Amino acid sequence: MLPPLDDLLDTAIVVALPMRMRFRGIATREALLFRGPAGWGEFSPFVEYGDEEASTWLAAGIEAAWLGSPPAVRDAVEVNATVPAVPASQVAEVLARFPGARTAKVKVAEKGQTLRDDIERVAAVRDLVAKVRVDANGGWTADEAVAAIGELGELEYVEQPCATVEELAGVRRRVDTPIAADESIRKADDPLRVVAADAADIAVVKVAPLGGMRRVLELAEQIPLPIVVSSALDTAVGISAGVATAAALPRLSHACGLGTGALFVDDVTRDPPRPHHSELRPGTVVVADPPLADPARSQWWRDRLTRCHRILARR
């Protein structure tokens, strides 16, 4: 059941969280939070997304605030460190925020950078963390991906090396390194097309873009691949939904990408979840004294929520 718009707007606050360094081109992460009978929900689709796509993120936030978390089958979830596309000289500084991390995900294929930059960054991470995975966000052509994978050394997997399912399938046939699909699942009209095309070894899923915790669990039942639950650069509220989802999965064989709170200078709570021995535990987030957006940005988000609520009402 869709709650009335006024119930969302009455408790809505818009936060602006400064980043320690740019990630996905973002220096300040904005999000709208609202409170329901089960706790807090988050609405934070990236600003360039259209209302149809953004409305799925609103459905996820409403689920968290009105239904709460699904039952957990594990007490803790291993998470990876996340290394933005920084110079190799800054890698140690980034990893220091993820003490005890056993796995690191490294951003590669950044616009304006070269493969040499990626190689040096990955090598610097490998000096400090045993298991390394990389994420290209669809930034390579198939030939570029094959060449890059050959140069980057041993990797746990390569996430979304190319933009299309067909390219993923082609690259997978040409390399021995496992291929993970992210955008090809969460931004696809048919998330199962990756499976039908035999285009990936691992499925990366994100709660908000897919419409909520229970939707991810339903999808996981249909995807015969190992699942990695990752953050969409969420606040602590969204991270809690990701951890709850990972804790509810019947099988979980890989570290999840839910440690991105370390990339924020401030979060939405005084005691944001931080990995202990590279693990996060499911729990409730109490929003307290978050950095607020200015009135103009706050109104922009409230207007966006209103439009997306209308879309959900039509569905």
Return the structure tokens found at 46: 């990236």
d(CA 87, CA 116): 11
Active-site option among 105, 111, 131, 206: 206
Q: With CA atoms as reference, report the closest residue to 121 among 98, 97, 151.
A: 151
Contacts of 28 by beta carbon, 8 Å cutoff, 6+ apart: 16, 17, 18, 19
206 given a catalytic annotation: yes
111 given a catalytic annotation: no
- Residue 68 Cα distances to 146, 216, 308, angstroms: 42, 14, 21
d(CA 246, CA 207): 10
- Residue 3 Cα distances to 34, 157, 207, 313, angstroms: 12, 41, 20, 10
d(CA 234, CA 82): 13
Q: Consult the annotation and say whether 167 binds a ligand.
A: no
Active-site option among 105, 107, 131, 187: 107
Q: With CA atoms as reference, report the closest residue to 184 among 208, 162, 207, 215.
A: 162
Torsion of CA 282, 288, 290, 296, to 10 degrees: 110
Compute the half-sphere exposure of residue 219: CA atoms within 13 Å on the CB side of its CA: 28
Return the structure tokens found at 48: 């360039």
For residue 36, what is the enclosing H or E element? Answer: strand 26-36
Q: Consult the annotation and say whether 135 binds a ligand.
A: yes
Q: Consult the annotation and say whether 182 binds a ligand.
A: yes
Question: Which residue has tokens 């015969």?
Answer: 224
Amino acid at 99: P
Active site residues: 107, 206
Residue numbers in the known binding site for Mg(2+) are 135, 159, 182
